[in-house]
Amino acid sequence: MIKQIPNIITSLNLLCGCVAILFAVSGDLITASFFVFSGIFFDFFDGLAARLLKAQSDVGLEFDSLADVVTSGVAPAIIMVQMLSLSTQGTNLQLFSENTESMGWITANFSFWPFIGLLIAVASAYRLAKFNVDTRQTNSFIGLPTPANTLLILSLPLILHFQYSGTAESIILNKWFLIGVTVISCILLNAEIKLFALKFKTWDFKSNAVRYVFLILSLIAIILLKFIAIPVVILIYILLSIFKKAD
């Protein structure tokens, strides 16, 4: 039973992703975002539990990736679809008519632009598939990890809700801004950019200087900027990795 604890934690990750998708489809992006945050939290601890309990397995590795496809792939993609729908149609995307029980397109002001957001799911799934077979990503990452990319997407509705301003709305709900974020995130997920991992083999500052600097800058950004700090932290992460060769 103890050996199944990591898989149970992975199951919680998957369940959080599924619930997040339900809320995202219904247009409640804030609740969806917090369920995705919970899924990412469980995703961090399933690997840790597997190592501590010496319960690593090929099945666990595949299960973890499948759960991540849902929580850090499909869920943020649906959130982006809804954000693009808000920017182009002024409302959440709806596939069901209020006057019928069958599925049908809402033709008034319908736009195909929101479906560009689904590219995030495709790029995330491909990135996770590559990660499973890429032996170079043992102590570092090649391309932006899916949880980091997911946090970037989640920051958009959270900024609008908790730190609303006219300027934030004009930027975030701009169709071309959202399309640009989608395309850039898909590229970063699969780019041949070596990024350091937050894995501490020792605790001394010299061998972990970039990690400590990143954590300190991230903490300062979060205190000062709140949810706006999320894209800032991701940018800092990429820049630090570029200017210092990852271990």
Condensed to tens digits (0 to 9), the pLDDT of residues 139-148 reads 789 999 999 9
Distance CA 76, CA 224 (A): 25
Torsion of CA 56, 59, 61, 65, to 10 degrees: -150
pLDDT tier for residue 98 given thresholds of 50, 70 and 90: low
54 pLDDT exceeds 80? no
pLDDT tier for residue 101 given thresholds of 50, 70 and 90: low
Distance CA 171, CA 238 (A): 22
107 pLDDT exceeds 90? no
Specify which residues 142 forms β-bridges with: 194
34 pLDDT exceeds 50? yes
CB 73 within 8 A of CB 124: yes
185 pLDDT exceeds 90? yes
For residue 225, the 8-state DSSP code is H
Question: What is the phi/psi pair of residue 196, to 5°?
Answer: -70, 150
pLDDT tier for residue 66 given thresholds of 50, 70 and 90: very high
Domain spans in the chain, listed from the N-terminal domain onward: 2-96+108-192, 198-247
Q: Angle at Cα 77 formed by Cα 74 and Cα 81, nearest 5°?
A: 135
Residue that the structure tokens 């219904």 belong to: 26
CB 145 within 8 A of CB 68: no
For residue 70, the 8-state DSSP code is I
Q: Which CATH class is domain 2-96+108-192?
A: mainly alpha
Closest by CA position to 120, among listed 230, 24, 227: 24
Condensed to tens digits (0 to 9), the pLDDT of residues 68-96 reads 999 999 999 999 999 999 999 877 776 65
Distance CA 35, CA 234 (A): 20
Specify which residues 59 forms β-bridges with: none
Distance CA 202, CA 146 (A): 25
Q: What is the mean pLDDT of residues 147-160?
A: 97
HSE toward the beta carbon, residue 116, CA cutoff 13 A: 21
**pLDDT value at position 139?**
77
**pLDDT value at position 246?**
47
Q: What is the mean pLDDT of residues 194-198?
A: 89
Quick check: helix, strand or coil at residue 197?
Answer: coil
Cβ within 8 Å of residue 177, ≥6 positions away? 171
